Chain A
């Protein structure tokens, strides 16, 4: 039995924005504690930021905005289904975070008077703070390395281990060789990102997604199996972004004066990204495709936009537009709805956490896109990375020793070996992923109805059987991909049962039930939670009230 064993105090699964921040913070407050990061890819550039970022989406700059205003904005943005404490705490800590990043050399754009450049990205308030930092991930990675943290690259977490009711470690897999690794840990912080590979993007290219395709919902499923609750899984978020490429540009262009127009040249937004719902509505009503026009802007602004688009988030955009001979001075940029993502950073799906980044299981924390603090973006990943670390350190100090569950490890090993065995298997893994994601696209996103959602659940059984019995594996990479696809299927299950439970429509396109087309605030202004039933196949759902909601502050559109 070739399993590598290790031991650490805090295990961080996922070394993206949240994971790095958690490691740094934990070492800041307790340098003597052992910390290990498992990263599925290579830590230096991995994660949604890959390289850089152009804005910190939520910062409450003193005298300009405050956490109460942010709470109003986010409650209205989420149609009332958002717990106030986590969002409030995040907003409170956001300015200190900005200062900390600045100290590390991250460049925020400041005008001549020394004021930060802010942009409007919410229905109200200017929380988005512009940044110009193509090397953000490098800076973070450097900070982590300085702190003497153990980093294991190419290790994908696949399951959490428990000792009674308490977390005791995790099982991972080397994504190149398929070998297993077991770590005993006193606390675990999940930072494995959201679910980027849900349905197929419009281009048909499996990895042409908006979000980093290495994030395949592993964190959601690990949490679910360990007993954590998933919330908002019915929220199928999709935005209008660059057609075919699904790359971001809304905030960068529109907040600098770009116009979003429908095909009849009606201007939907200009200067602020505050009417996303209106954009989706225009597309639904057949007024698409939408486009962004920059032609009217002065040369200076256009070159600034180009500079940011082509260096920070997705520098490859330069090649994309060059290939298509699109010059912003003469051409508009066509938009199209992206594929659906389940994400606690952009959307509102993920592991349910409180303001301490706690999942409800002793010793298990979650931060970043894997945890649901609706639309927390990068700010949330950083702030809750820190908060998770602070609490994990506290708990770790109280725990003497934990045991790993050998029986579970053995069953994981057996399952892996049976998946590796290629006898009588003939489905190509790429085709398998393609079909799974195509069928998800057929049955899960809006317009939803009970019949469609049940159809998915039937398909899901077929896929789970194929996955064990028919899909062929050639190397460790394929094996890791098989686990990812399993997680994609199971995320779709969660999304389907949550959508079946929520018998109303809410959030526009993100959850529209053709059999319950109205929003029902009376009964459904609450969370739908998904939890693991007693068997692998079983999922239970319940609901939970929204906490700290101030009814007066929410205005519902329509």
Chain B
């Protein structure tokens, strides 16, 4: 006898695997099966989401999916090595979906919308110092501002002369959101006092040298905890020494670091309940590089708009198999319908289990 049948139907064409239904379910019935592309993405970006929305002709909604990454997208779209494409299921049939190209298309076309940061409504009165203004420092700053903190950057002397258009662009946006940029010498302020922060984030282990002896952990730390990124009390370091073959990993580590900082500031444990969305899954998927199908070069950022328009983008996006979606994992449905009500795409239909029907 089947004692637990029931039936949630999800429309593959419209489901964007956002996971809202999973969060809202009041019986813990649903789970999200995460598409390979998203599993492979170091920062867990919902590729399937924006691609499905392009395919449905809803580009304005598609860009919404990307907004949580704000100006960082300029960097991501330019520099990412697209691990997502390497695991795309379509690859075995007729070549991976051009996920990176579609991202470049969106980022280029809607770049004005990306010059902003959705700051959390809950204002914090905490100040965070960040040493280093490479991509990992800027990403930390971005996430910290998003979490409502005030941010001070300290450019390291060996970074100072470097010029990078994309990083400068990100920096400008952060400045608009009141980030202060200083030099590493300014770690001591004009009156000779060491500046005090609620938390300090280093871009690399070597940055310990810049700290005054009041803060420097003795003996110096030689490795960083992979999950918590904590170095010493309120000092964190985003670099865990893990591989750097995809620059986007640096952003991922920055996000993890700020998550820890937030927990630290809220007096929450740094490791509890993590691991659900950590990089482990991502790294594993990244290594499954089955190298089937085409590896043709992608259209570079500069001329993506010349080569792609709404129609070609839509055609490309329509090739997506829609691998990820919500599914009924636990068979505990009470057919109460919040999941259906909250689905932004109206892709979910709750049927009454056969035993009851």
Residues of A in contact with B (beta carbons under 8 Å apart): 2-6, 41-42, 44-47, 50-51, 154, 174-177, 179, 181, 203-209, 212-214, 244-245, 314-316, 319-320, 323-324, 430-431, 434, 477, 480
In the complex where A245-B356, A431-B3 touch, is A41 in contact with B26 (Cβ < 8 A)?
yes
On whether the beta carbons of B350 and A176 are closer than 8 Å, the reply is no
The 8 closest A-B pairs by CB, nearest first: A45-B338, A205-B355, A41-B26, A4-B272, A50-B336, A316-B335, A46-B26, A203-B356
Q: Which residues of B contact A51 (CB under 8 A)?
A: 336-338, 341
In the complex where A174-B273, A179-B273, A319-B351 touch, is A207 in contact with B24 (Cβ < 8 A)?
no
Asked whether B333 is an interface residue with its Cβ less than 8 Å from the other chain, the reply is yes
On whether the beta carbons of B337 and A213 are closer than 8 Å, the reply is no
On whether the beta carbons of A323 and B26 are closer than 8 Å, the reply is no
Q: Chain A's interface: helix, strand, loop or mixed, by majority?
A: loop
Bound together, the chains give a CA A112 to CA B76 distance in angstroms of: 62
B4 touches which one: A2, A175, A245, A430 (CB < 8 A)? A430
On whether the beta carbons of A316 and B6 are closer than 8 Å, the reply is no
On whether the beta carbons of A177 and B3 are closer than 8 Å, the reply is no
Asked whether B268 is an interface residue with its Cβ less than 8 Å from the other chain, the reply is yes
Q: Can you spell out 18 A-B residue pairs with CB atoms less than 8 angstroms apart?
A: A5-B269, A6-B267, A41-B26, A41-B28, A42-B24, A44-B338, A45-B26, A47-B26, A51-B337, A175-B28, A177-B273, A179-B273, A204-B355, A209-B334, A320-B357, A430-B331, A431-B3, A477-B329
Asked whether B276 is an interface residue with its Cβ less than 8 Å from the other chain, the reply is yes
Interface string of B241-285 (1 = CB under 8 A from A): 000000000000000000000000001110111011000000000
On whether the beta carbons of B272 and A179 are closer than 8 Å, the reply is yes
Closest to B353 in A: A205
Asked whether B348 is an interface residue with its Cβ less than 8 Å from the other chain, the reply is no
On whether the beta carbons of B337 and A203 are closer than 8 Å, the reply is no
Q: A204-B1, A205-B6, A316-B352 are known; give 7 further A-B pairs, CB within 8 A.
A: A2-B271, A4-B268, A4-B273, A45-B26, A205-B4, A206-B3, A320-B357
Bound together, the chains give a CA A324 to CA B337 distance in angstroms of: 20
Residues of B in contact with A (beta carbons under 8 Å apart): 1, 3-6, 23-28, 267-269, 271-273, 275-276, 329-338, 341, 350-353, 355-357
Bound together, the chains give a CA A174 to CA B273 distance in angstroms of: 8
Bound together, the chains give a CA A244 to CA B341 distance in angstroms of: 24
Bound together, the chains give a CA A169 to CA B27 distance in angstroms of: 25
Chain B proximity of A41: nearest CB distance (Å): 4
Q: Which residues of A contact B3 (CB under 8 A)?
A: 204-206, 430-431, 434
Q: Which residues of B contact A50 (CB under 8 A)?
A: 26, 334, 336-338
Q: Which residues of A contact B269 (CB under 8 A)?
A: 4-5
A316 touches which one: B4, B24, B350 (CB < 8 A)? B350
B27 touches which one: A179, A213, A244, A315 (CB < 8 A)? A213
Q: Which residues of A contact B352 (CB under 8 A)?
A: 245, 316, 319-320, 323
